[in-house]
Chain A
Amino acid sequence: MIAEVLDVAVRLVVIVAVFLVLPLVAGQMEHKVMAHMQARLGPMYAGGFHGWAQLIADGVKFMQKEQVIPAAADRRVFTLAPGVALVPYLLVMVVIPVGPGLVGVDLDAGLFFVLAVMGIGVLGSIMAGWSSGNKYSVLGGMRSAAQLMSYELPLVLAASSVAMAAGTLSLPGIVAAWQWWWLPWQAIGGVIFFVAGLAELRRPPFDMPIADSELIMGPMTEYTGIRFALFMLAEYAGIIVVSALTSVLFLGGWHGPLLPGPVWMLIKVFLLVFVVIWLRVSYPRLREDQLQRLAWAGLVPLALVQLALTGVVRVIAG
Chain B
Amino acid sequence: MSGYFGSYVVVLALFAIGLLIVAGVLLVNRALRPSRPTAEKLLTYECGVDPVGDGWAQSQVRYYVFTYLYVIFAVDAVFLFPWATIFAEPGFGTTTLAEMFVFLGFIALGILYAWRKRVLTWT
Q: How far is the CA of A71 from the CA of B42 in the complex (A)?
A: 5
Complex contact A68–B15 (CB within 8 A): no
Task: Report if A186 contacts B (CB, 8 A).
Answer: no
Q: How far is the CA of A160 from the CA of B74 in the complex (A)?
A: 12
Q: Which of under 10, 10 to 19, 20 to 34, or 35 or more describes the interface residues of B?
A: 35 or more
B101 surroundings in chain A (CB, below 8 A): 308, 311
Task: Report if B25 contacts A (CB, 8 A).
Answer: yes
Task: Report if B19 contacts A (CB, 8 A).
Answer: yes
> Secondary structure at chain A's binding surface: helix, strand, loop or mixed?
helix
Complex contact A16–B47 (CB within 8 A): no
B104 surroundings in chain A (CB, below 8 A): 304, 307-308
B58 to chain A, nearest CB (A): 11
Complex contact B97–A315 (CB within 8 A): yes
Complex contact B86–A222 (CB within 8 A): no
> Secondary structure at chain B's binding surface: helix, strand, loop or mixed?
helix
Complex contact B45–A152 (CB within 8 A): no
Task: Report if B49 contacts A (CB, 8 A).
Answer: no
Complex contact A94–B70 (CB within 8 A): no
- How many chain A residues touch the partner (CB < 8 A)? 83
Task: Report if A44 contacts B (CB, 8 A).
Answer: no
Complex contact A71–B43 (CB within 8 A): yes
Knowing A8-B1, A108-B4, A315-B88, the reply to whether A16 touches B17 (Cβ < 8 A) is: yes
Complex contact B33–A296 (CB within 8 A): no
Q: Which 8 pairs between the two chains have the least Cβ-Cβ distance?
A: A133-B55, A289-B122, A146-B63, A87-B18, A226-B29, A149-B70, A163-B84, A164-B84
Supply 13 A–B pairs (Cβ within 8 Å), ascending by A: A8-B13, A68-B37, A70-B42, A87-B22, A90-B17, A134-B51, A134-B55, A149-B63, A149-B67, A160-B80, A293-B120, A297-B115, A315-B97
